[in-house]
Amino acid sequence: MTRLTIIFILTLCSLTGQAQKKETIATYVKYSSHVRGGDAYWEWFVNGKLINDVGPNPFMPIGSKYVVTYDSLKPEKNYSIDLSRPVFLKEESTAFTTGVLISNSCFTPKKHDVVIIKYRVWDEEYTLYQNEPLRKETLCIKKGDKFEVEYWTSAPARSIVHLDKPVVLKETYATMRLSKWEYEVNGKLFTVEGSQRIIGALDGTKYIISYDSLHPERFQLQEDKPVFLKNEPTGKVSGTITETTDYKKEKYFTYTINGVEYVGVKFIGTLQNKLRLKKGNKYEVEFLIENPRRAIIHLDKPIK
């Protein structure tokens, strides 16, 4: 259910003058807070007439679209917005990434649930809440499972998770060359330009990446995992943390080689962020002998 052309389905009898159930697309247009909570406002068109009303809160961005079923005789009164059927229109440009389930969920013929998925686009993380319909067979998915997420390129917070498209991630490394990331999968070279930038990344800098085994062109840079290859000669010195601003993911450090002081940057992952780094802390720094500006600080190797 990625692109839905507006369709009209006859579900009752087709006798003239009798009510028919039809479908169109409703757009979530506004949320208004008040002392008792808040109201979600929706609008859709039936035969050229605009209909708007308060409806269910999708907990998704303004502009999100869902299928609405209505009564052909009283479309403004007898209708139902189905939050288990989010859609993109044909003219809306979308792209794909990988989402991770953050809680266990089970769906049965008598029970449906809300799926909560986290996903990243560029360097931003988003959370997706999606209702799932009742299913003919029981489906249980667990925390950490990965699925394909389709998002609107104009506003990546608006998205749809496809539970029928599980993702198996594999890892390799990508190399920065002329502001492009290059990596190889099964002998094929992939080049990605202008995305997932890293502050201070030099030509030749390498990072671990995760890629979709079925769609290797879809990858996620693991910015907290820079690497050297086995055939790259490196040296080791002591480095000092010089900046630890809490709201920034990047931490700066200095190190000295042959009397020359260098400045490096380290992106902090979730676990590393719990180390409570302090200005002045010293850790082992590994550097490339032929280009000492390329360096990695090992936060798991403190120096006292």
166-203 per-position pLDDT tens digit: 999 999 999 998 888 999 999 999 998 755 667 667 88
Q: Mind listing the pLDDT tens digit for each residue in 83-115?
A: 999 999 999 999 999 999 998 888 777 777 789
Q: Is 273 helix (H, G, I), strand (E, B) or coil?
A: helix
The torsion angles phi and psi of 182, rounded to 5 degrees, stand at: -120, 135
| Cα–Cα distance for residue pair 228/75, rounded to 1 Å | 63
On whether residue 7 sits in a domain, the answer given is no
Q: How far is CA 168 from CA 40, 216, 226, in A?
A: 36, 11, 22
106, 162: one domain = yes
Q: pLDDT tens digits for the chain (304 residues)?
A: 455 444 444 444 444 457 789 999 999 999 998 877 789 999 999 999 999 999 999 999 999 999 999 998 888 889 999 999 999 999 999 999 999 999 888 877 777 778 999 998 877 889 999 988 777 788 888 999 999 999 999 999 999 999 989 999 999 999 998 888 999 999 999 998 755 667 667 889 999 999 998 889 888 888 889 999 999 999 999 999 998 665 557 788 999 999 999 999 888 765 455 567 788 999 999 999 999 999 999 988 999 8
- Whether the model clears a pTM of 0.85, i.e. scores above it, the answer is no
Q: Residues 250-282, buried b or exposed e (16+ Cβ, 10 A)?
A: ebbbebeeeeeebebbbbbeeeeeeeebeeebb
As for how many domains the chain has, the answer is 4
The answer to whether position 107 is within a domain reads yes
Do the domain assignments include residue 242?
A: yes
The answer to whether residue 14 sits within a structural domain is no
Is 290 part of a structural domain of the chain?
Answer: yes
In a domain, 255, yes or no: yes
Q: Does residue 211 fall inside a structural domain?
A: yes
- Domain limits at 38? 21-87
Phi, psi of 165 (to 5 degrees): -130, 70
Asked if the structure places residue 11 within a domain, the reply is no
**Selection from 60, 165, 145 nearest residue 102 by Cα:** 145
Residues 166 and 153: their CA atoms lie apart, in Å, by 21
